[in-house]
């Protein structure tokens, strides 16, 4: 089990290095957003708030890696700062996830997993619809971690 996880982490590292080089992640201040869930509502909230996330993190552009064909086909409608939306397999995401977990402190801050079923997301998923919390708030506050995020159109005062 541990050896298999380590092999998958190494495969994830190889995939990550290709993405970093292809999109100039570090020097170009590009963020990579992984969206492995086929939850259209959640993915739409993540895409709708991608510019807010990039502004908060002082990012220039974003690359979206997804298993959801809807995200690939519609991501360009949400932001001109999305330079690429690439389809990946569940196994590809699993490898990225293994690499992220195994090398967590040596991994990049420019990789964000927008998932309610992964390492941190599965706990966030339990909060959906509790005390009025919705998927947009889980995406922006829980996974993008935008500290000053306010829902558009809602008065906070």
**pLDDT value of position 154:** 42
Q: What is the domain count for the chain?
A: 1
Tell me the per-residue pLDDT of 80-130, one tens digit each, with 9 for 90 and over.
999 999 999 988 888 887 787 776 555 678 888 888 876 656 667 667 777
CB 112 within 8 A of CB 144: yes
- As given in the structure block, the two tokens for residue 73 are 């086909």
Does 25 map to a domain?
Answer: yes
Q: Residue 84: in which H helix or E strand, if any? A: strand 82-87
98-133 burial by CB neighbour count: b if 16+ within 10 A, else e? Answer: bbbebeeeebeebbbbbbbebeebeebbeeeeeeee
Question: How far is it, in rounded angstroms, from Cα 143 to Cα 136?
Answer: 10
Q: Which domain holds residue 68?
A: 2-143
Question: How far is it, in rounded angstroms, from Cα 71 to Cα 137?
Answer: 19
**pLDDT value of position 126:** 67
**pLDDT value of position 156:** 38
Which of 18-32, 116-130, 136-150 is most confident? 18-32
């Amino acid at each position: 089990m541990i050896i298999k996880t380590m092999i998958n982490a190494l495969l994830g590292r190889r995939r990550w290095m290709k993405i970093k080089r292809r999109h100039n992640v570090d020097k170009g201040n590009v963020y990579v957003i992984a969206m492995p869930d086929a939850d259209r509502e959640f993915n739409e909230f993540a895409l709708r708030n991608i510019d807010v996330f990039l502004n908060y993190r002082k990012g220039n552009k974003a690359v979206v890696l997804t298993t959801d064909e809807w995200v690939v086909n519609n991501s360009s409608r949400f932001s001109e700062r999305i330079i690429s939306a690439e389809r990946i397999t569940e196994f590809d995401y699993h490898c990225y996830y293994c690499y992220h977990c195994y090398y967590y402190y040596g991994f990049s801050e420019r990789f964000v997993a927008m998932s309610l079923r992964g390492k941190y997301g599965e706990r966030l998923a339990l909060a959906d619809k509790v005390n009025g919390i919705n998927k947009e708030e889980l995406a922006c506050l829980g996974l993008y971690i935008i500290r000053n995020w306010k829902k558009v159109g809602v008065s906070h005062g």
